[in-house]
Structure 1
Amino acid sequence: MDLSQTLLQLEQRLLSPAARRNGEELSHLLAADFIEFGVSGNIWNKADVVEQLPQEHFTQRTISQFAVKPLSEHTALVTYHCHVETLGQQRSIGSLRSSIWRKQDEQWQMVFHQGTLSSQR
């Protein structure tokens, strides 16, 4: 499997209900020094996400325009559009997403993530 496919699968996994409700899996996917700048403007670290995300209401999200830019042999920048379908409406709420992934001991973990509201809906 190539790098782009691997990281797309990991991003999709983090958007899945199974991973979002499982603190152990989240802990496995996020690096110890993980930090997130959320669409809401909040800042989270790994402990915050592992504790709080399993309690959140799940909302289905989809990914489009996925791209990977290798930064070094063991790090990569991922960018994509994330879409949340709104109930009873024909349009979706979109955000631009970026993540930095680091490979350590044959395991990819997310080190950084940022979401920014998008005017493209």
Structure 2
Amino acid sequence: MKSHCLVLLMFCSMVAMPCLAGSAGEKPPELAAASLQGEGKILSPEAQAVLDAQKAAIEALKKGDAEFFRRTLTDDFTAIVTTGDMAGKDDFVEGVAGLHGKDLRFYDFKVLPLNENAAVVTYNAVLPGEGARYQHLSNVWVKQGDQWKLKFQQSTPNLWSLGDI
């Protein structure tokens, strides 16, 4: 149970420290953070690709698909969970299978492009079980070759909601 909670917490805080692959003189893409909740915002192709990668990760988490995360997390992946503890790729992948069938809800996605090879996706989550049920998450995605990989995640408890449990 503890490893399942750790994985869930890690996923919810997975991407917040990208490996910025640009030089100091590079101009970031001309994209603003885009809210994706209901208003049909048009995203750039890069931002849409990152959002698609994030949504695929969420679906894989709901299915307990550990193999997806072996392929999708960078080798140096780091997560900071709501307790402040840190975890790596192996810890995260190990706990994914136990989340299959859980009622995981994610919403209010925003994409903040950093450059053409890195972006932050922020969103909110409502999670079952022990620990912080309501969370704000930040994930850092980096482009390696033609694939978007999850490099970092940070989960922050949504303190105003903790008393609602």
Q: TM-score, normalised by structure 2?
A: 0.59
Q: Which runs of 5+ in 2 are unaligned?
A: 1-43
Structure with greater proportional strand content: 1
What is the rounded CA distance, in whole Å, between the counterparts of 1:33 and 1:58 in structure 2? 28
| Cα distance in 2, alignment partners of residues 9 and 59 from structure 1 | 22
Cα distance, 1:62 vs structure 2: 2.3
1:115 maps to 2:158: no
3-state SS of the aligned residue for 2:92?
helix
When the two structures are aligned, how many residues end up with a matched partner?
115
State which structure, 1 or 2, has the greater radius of gyration over its C-alpha atoms: 2
Q: What one-letter code is carried by the residue in structure 1 that aligns with 2:151?
A: V
Q: What secondary structure does 2:159 align onto?
A: coil
Letter in 2 for 1:62: R
| Equivalence for 1:102 | 142
* More moved, 99-108 vs 7-16: 7-16
What amino acid maps onto 1:52 in structure 2? G
**Equivalent of 2:82 in 39, 49, 55:** 39
For 2:27, the equivalent position in structure 1 comes to: none
Which residue number corresponds to residue 5 of structure 1?
A: 48
Q: TM-score, normalised by structure 1?
A: 0.77
Q: CA, structure 1 residues 9+83, in 2 after alignment: closer, same or farther (shift >3 Å)?
A: farther
Moved over 4 A (4+): 17-20
- What is aligned with 2:93? 50
> Any stretches of 5+ residues in structure 1 without a counterpart?
87-92
